[in-house]
Each structure stands twice: as structure tokens, then as C-alpha cells.
Structure 1
Amino acid sequence: MDWTRGNLEDTDYDVELLMLYLERSVRPEKLPNARAVIRFRFTDVDDMPDWWIVVGGDAIDICTADPGKEVDIYITTSVRTMTEAWMGRITYRQARADGSFEVHGPPALTRNISTWLADCIFADLPEPSEILGNAGSTTDI
């Protein structure tokens, strides 16, 4: 995983796959009335840069066309930044601070995105060097 993380190119990031994972990561119980519409605009995608996640109770749907519902949260970022934040490589706060991640909406929903959007299941894994000690360094390969 460490080698892969360090060697991914921008073309290796897939918006469709990311959105499927984000759909599964939404925690409806953490949203007001378990409902919300989240609009994503990916700045590095030419075809279909706009995506929506529509949460209605237990039903969560991804849309590539405007679902015609009032949007609660607007997120503008690159696929790489969104992936890195979701995977725990950077925090949403760090991405906002460096300007690579914009979010607009009610503060209760935008202050701490991790409240309603679960991180990737691998986000809490320690770095390989922490697991393997010196045997995990890339110089040992």
C-alpha cells in the first residue's frame, strides 16, 4: 500500500469508483432527518465533473444528472484530493486550508465532514514502517 500510494498518477484516480465508495460511506443517521443532497464538482474531470449523492433515510443514490432537489452541501475539489481525504492521507481541514477542497453549506454539516461521511476502512491503518519497523522501509527491497 505504501508503494502504491507514492506511485499513483492523476490518471490512476477514478471518479466513478470513488463515488461508489463515498455512497457506501454516508452515515444517514448523522444527517438532519437522515436526509441530504450533496453535490460534488471535480475540477480535474472533463466528462461528468458534477455528481450528486441523494440521501433519503436508508436510501442513498448517486446521480450524474441534477436530481432537481435542493442541495445541502456543495463540495468542489479534485478526485485525488477527495480520495486522499476519504482515505485518511490528509484531513478535510488540511485540504480546505491549502485551497484544494471547498465546501459550502450549513456549518453543522460542513464543519466536520467525517461526522456524516465515514473514512475508508483502511484510513486508520498505521504506516508500513510503524507495522514492520525497519523491515518496512523501501530501502530494504
Structure 2
Amino acid sequence: MAQPSYKQFCPVAMASEILCTRWTLILLRELMAGSSRFNDLRRGVPKMSPTLLSQRLKELEESGVIERVAIKSEPNLFEYILTESGRDLQSVIDTVGQWGQRWVESRLSLRNLDPSLLMWDMRRNLDTTPLPKKRCVIQFLYQELPVSKKHWWLVIEPDGETDLCWADPGFDVDLFVTTNVKTMTAIWMGVDTVSDAMKDDTLVLVGSTAIADSMQSWLGLSPFAATERRVP
């Protein structure tokens, strides 16, 4: 069902009719982070139904924010690409994210824990520069989760290509990371650090000393982790 119009000529009202529907800003965040295929977008918004995702993509396309482009190598598949109008929203998404990091109480954010989304974001933002120039395999073990969601693997190839696996990829593991989802999410958000979590025994690293020592550097943190927090 179409969003009711605010019936105001104000540009804020007109922009809100496009941008302030449920999930739209989150979907734009994913598009700006580099996701362009439907299944990749779904991984970035796992709580959003496929039907609603399709609807929001169609609405953004009709508004000129994105365009749907056939993939040359796979003509039956499509990518969703930001137009000039869509790219111009980058500063809007950045400002909203920075405001949320600065002013929203972190305890509220840390109620919404999702290991699959966390690992997807970490994989996407990983900095491979500090890692050895070889295949590196890092296994995460979330102690409190059921077996089906407990184990995750990041496989980083020498060229920087990174895969996220939820089934054992069969490679030797260079670093075992044992923690809980809340601690790892807090580190990803910039609320906690690797060294402090290790001191609190909520993060245990076993394996390559070089990879463990540089974890704070290579770990894929939130783009807003560096924003100064002002919430008491």
C-alpha cells in the first residue's frame, strides 16, 4: 500500500514520503555499502521479508533513486544500482548513522543482537592489510548460541577476497575467537575494544599471535565506530 502523502510543499515533507517508509533508510545503507544483488541485500536486512524488500526496491526505482540493471554474464539476474539521486543521499545516511552513534544509548542498540548480520557486516568492512599475505582462516565461536548458529568462519585469501562461512570450510584455522554476541557487537560498534574485552575474559583468542595482536586493526568495525559518543 502506498505511503499516505503529507500534502505539504516543503522539501523535507516531499523527501520524507520517499525515505521515511519502514526499512527504506536501512536498505539505502546496504546499497551504499556495496550490496547490489537481491540475495546480498537480504543478508544485510535479514529481518525484512523478501516481499517487502521487492516492494521497497520497486518504490526506490520509481522514485529515481536506484535503477535495475541486468547482469551481462547472467541475463536473468539483476543488480540494483544507485543513480546520481541515490548517491546524493550518502551524506544523509552518514549523518543519521553518526547521530545514532553519538546520541542513542548503546544499551538500547545492544538489545538487538543478530550474529548473522554482525558477521556479514564484519566481513564486508574487514581490512586485510594487517593480515599475513596467505590464506587466513578465523573461526568465531559464540558460546551462548545453539549449535546451528554457534560457529562462523572468515576465510581471507591472499588477494583480499573474503568469504563468510557458517559451515566448516575444511581449512586449517589460524585464529580461534571465543566470545559472546553482545561483546562482539559492542566491539563492532566501537563501544568496547578487543584489549578491554580480553581483560574482562569475554573475548579469548587462541592461535596466531600476529593475527590476534592486530585484531583491532583488521576487524571490520562499523563505519560509525569512530564517532565520538555523547550519551552519558
| TM-score normalised by structure 1 residue count | 0.82
Q: Is the 8 A contact 1:50 1:65 kept in 2?
A: yes
Partner of 1:93: 195
Q: Which amino acid counterpart does residue 119 of structure 1 have in structure 2?
A: L
Q: Deviations over 1:39-80 (max 9, x none)?
A: 000112113200001011232111111100010110010111
Q: Which structure 2 segments of 5+ residues have no match?
A: 1-99
Deviating beyond 6 angstroms after TM superposition, the runs of 4 or more aligned structure 1 residues are: none
Q: Is the 8 A contact 1:28 1:34 kept in 2?
A: no
Structure 1 residues 17-26 or 120-129, which shifts more? 120-129
Partner of 2:144: 44
Decide which of 51, 60, 72 is 2:162's aligned counterpart.
60
Q: Is the 8 A contact 1:28 1:35 kept in 2?
A: no
Q: Which amino acid counterpart does residue 69 of structure 1 have in structure 2?
A: F
Q: 2:160 & 2:213 partners in 1: Cα distance?
A: 23
Aligned residues: 129
Partner of 2:130: 30
| TM-score normalised by structure 2 residue count | 0.52
Q: 1:110 & 1:58 partners in 2: Cα distance?
A: 18
**Which structure ranks higher in relative contact order (CA pairs < 8 Å, sequence separation ≥ 6)?**
1
Kindly name which structure, 1 or 2, has the bigger radius of gyration based on alpha carbons.
2
Match runs of 1:1-141 below 5 Å: 1=100, 2-8=103-109, 10=111, 12-46=112-146, 47-56=148-157, 57-128=159-230
Instruction: Quickly say closer, same or farther: Cα 1:9–1:85, change in 2 above 3 A.
Output: closer
Question: Taking every aligned residue pair, what percent have the same amino acid on both sides?
Answer: 31
Q: 1:63 & 1:118 partners in 2: Cα distance?
A: 16
SS at match of 1:33: coil
Name the Cα RMSD after superposition: 1.8
